[in-house]
Amino acid sequence: MRSLKPVLMLLLLLGAVQASPVASEEQYPTRPVKIIVPWPAGGVADFLARVVADRLSGALNQPVIVENKPGAGTNLGSEVVARAAPDGYTLLLASSNNAVNMTLYKDMRYDTVKDFLPISLLALVPNILVVNPKFPAHTVKELIDYSKAHPGKVKYASAGNGSPAHLAAEQFKRLAQVDMLNVPYKGAAPAVTDLIGGHVDVMFTNIPASLGSIQAGQLRAVAIGSTARSKSMPDLPTIAESGLPNYEAVAWYGLVAPAGTPGAIIEKLGEALDRTMKSPETLRRLTQQGTEPVISAPDALANQIRTDISSYRNLIHESGISIE
């Protein structure tokens, strides 16, 4: 009988080792979870991440911390998560930028498809076409007519080359067959400031970045880039219904984890989001900021990423967009 003891002990030890990952997945999370936001504090992404973190903290019974890691067009923070341990404790607030960057940057150190596992879409944020109040165009048609009458003279602000604002404007130019001049800025805030000051004429930006200025009369909203009107601005027509039927410019935000994260953890996070992000109070907070809340299955986010990589690749190549 004594000779069996070492064998039994070995079997018990092997069983414990094999069972420990399952046990840890079932107990997840046992410590704070971190959401990396690859933008500076204060923008729509930061706001969204903090709402999500607050709701997840209650659902998971663990603190969910937001950490801002801006830089390199969101690549810096995204790479941190791509290289993090696949244990569910480091997540990324991903966005359309992660699809754009696959084409825009030639020295990518991570792969948006291969290095992340989608958890859920969180929100859609339509681009909105705004102008300086002194600019003569009040409608999409008037902007197109004015741009054709003054080729290369209309200046549009963008939050940097390859930003959603830049791509939205280039898509507009291509469909409307107009020539407008890109004036890139380091972010939406300084671009909006110069638009208010009249240094540029037009901008395609997101609603949260411009809503306060629109309400204050500092900017004039012309149309919105989504295919349906926004709940936060229901009287504002879409660009598609204003003369460019194929136009759509909507950024998305979603939550992803490093590739290799156990499926049970992905499922637990998705269920927690589904339970908590659909509360009336949460929906009200997000909608008031001009975002359109969307909680989805992982496959929906995966399809969004793949579709956007393809469509943005075509737009970037056709428009000749590049960064230094």
pLDDT tens-digit profile, the chain (324 residues):
445 555 555 545 555 545 445 556 779 999 999 999 999 888 889 999 999 999 999 999 999 999 999 999 899 999 999 999 999 999 999 999 999 999 999 889 999 999 999 999 999 999 999 999 999 999 999 999 999 999 999 999 998 888 888 999 999 999 999 999 999 988 788 899 999 999 999 999 988 888 889 999 999 999 999 999 988 888 999 999 999 998 999 999 999 999 999 999 999 999 999 999 988 989 998 988 888 999 999 999 999 999 999 999 999 998 888 876
Q: Where do the structural domains in the chain lie, given as residue ranges?
A: 29-124+251-319, 126-242
Q: What is the C-alpha separation between 23 and 2, in angstroms, rounded? A: 31
pLDDT of residue 1: 45
By three-state DSSP, how is residue 107 classified? coil
Would you tell me the crossing angle of helices 164-176 and 96-104 to the nearest 10 degrees?
Answer: 70
Helix (H, G, I), strand (E, B) or coil at 149: helix
CATH domain 126-242 topology: D-Maltodextrin-Binding Protein; domain 2 (3.40.190)
Q: CA–CA separation, 303 vs 280, rounded Å?
A: 27
Query: Based on C-alpha coordinates, what's the Rg of the chain?
Result: 23
Is 126-242 the same fold as 29-124+251-319? yes
Q: What DSSP state is assigned to residue 238?
A: B
Write down the CATH superfamily of domain 29-124+251-319: Bordetella uptake gene, domain 1 (3.40.190.150)
Residues forming beta bridges with residue 116, ordered by sequence position: 258
Tell me which amino acid residue 10 is: L
Regarding beta strands 116-131 and 181-184, do their DSSP bridges make them parallel or antiparallel, or are they unpaired? unpaired
Is beta strand 202-206 parallel, antiparallel or unpaired with respect to 155-158? parallel
The length of the chain, given as a count of residues: 324
Residue with tokens 């939406």: 188
Q: What confidence score (pLDDT) does residue 202 get?
A: 97
Structure tokens at 213: 């200025």
Amino acid 26: pLDDT: 79
**CA-CA distance, 207 to 289, in Å (whole number)?**
7
Closest CA to 176 of 157, 201, 149, 209: 149
Q: What is the pLDDT of residue 115?
A: 98
Backbone angles phi, psi at 232, to 5 degrees: -80, -20
CA distance 116 to 245: 34
State pTM to two decimals.
0.87
- The DSSP element (H or E) to which 89 belongs, if any, is none
